[in-house]
């Protein structure tokens, strides 16, 4: 019985030591419940740079982007995941007002040769190329007229989770 206790204590000690390992400090962002995270950007009256990340869990890090009408907008998308473009590709697609996200997403699934941008982009204001884990891409365009627009990732099935609002003031 004593040997069994000793073996248990020794095993438990080894498990506890091995779990302690590398004590990396994890940075966590505090977010109030009910608030929407907005884009990280630098801007002037004439231009704005917006930085967005997409990950292997099919998530953008921002849900709302605010710009001014007529500004030159540069959206930089970084894929912070590790998966390849053919498995977990991401892009940024700004849709024209009135475009149905579900219809566009369904049509995008069949447009692999066009980088998942269907109908020659007739419903798109601007988009980046499709990228995989560790890659970065950007697109520059003029902000459209005042209003609310949708942005998505058009990789098959991603639009259900990877979407947000692009608000032009």
pLDDT at residue 45 in the model: 81
- Mention every residue, 6+ apart, whose C-beta is less than 8 A from residue 18: none
Per residue in 93-120, pLDDT tens? 999 999 999 999 999 999 999 999 999 9
Q: How far is residue 51's CA from residue 162's CA, in Å, rounded to a whole number?
A: 15
Using alpha carbons, select from 97, 90, 104 the residue that is nearest to residue 143. Answer: 97
Task: Please name every residue paired with 66 in a beta bridge, in sequence order, or none if there are none.
Answer: 167
> For the CA atoms of 131, 134, 135, 140, what is the dihedral angle to 10 degrees?
100
| 161 Cβ contact list (under 8 Å, min separation 6) | 58, 59
Confidence label for 133 from pLDDT (cuts 50, 70 and 90): very high
* φ, ψ dihedrals at 101, nearest 5°: -60, -45
Number of residues written out for the chain: 169
pLDDT at 2: 58
Q: Of 19-23, 81-85, 122-126, which range is least confident?
A: 19-23
Choice between 36 and 73, residue whose per-residue pLDDT is larger: 73
> Chain-centre distance of CA 161, in angstroms?
9
pTM, to two decimals: 0.76
Residue 78, both tokens: 């970084």
Contact 123, 150 (CB under 8 A): no
Closest CA to 163 of 89, 113, 95, 115: 95
Tokens of 98: 């009135």
The enclosing H or E element of 86 equals: helix 85-88
Domains, the chain, ordered by start: 37-168 (2.60.40.420)
């Amino acid at each position: 019985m004593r040997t069994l206790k000793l073996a248990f204590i020794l095993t438990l000690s080894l498990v506890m030591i091995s779990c302690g390992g590398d004590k990396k400090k994890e940075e966590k962002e505090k977010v109030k419940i009910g608030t929407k995270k907005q884009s990280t950007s630098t801007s002037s009256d004439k231009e704005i740079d917006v930085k967005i990340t997409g990950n292997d869990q099919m998530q953008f890090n921002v849900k709302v982007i605010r710009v001014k009408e007529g500004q030159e907008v540069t959206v930089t998308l970084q894929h912070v995941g590790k998966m390849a473009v053919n498995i977990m590709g991401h892009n940024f697609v700004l849709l024209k007002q009135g475009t149905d996200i579900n219809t566009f997403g369904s049509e995008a699934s069949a447009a692999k040769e066009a980088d998942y941008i269907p109908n020659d982009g007739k419903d798109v204001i601007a988009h980046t190329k499709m990228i995989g884990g560790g890659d970065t891409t950007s697109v520059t365009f003029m902000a459209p007229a005042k209003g609310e627009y949708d942005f998505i990732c058009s990789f098959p099935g991603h639009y259900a989770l990877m979407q947000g609002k692009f608000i032009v003031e």
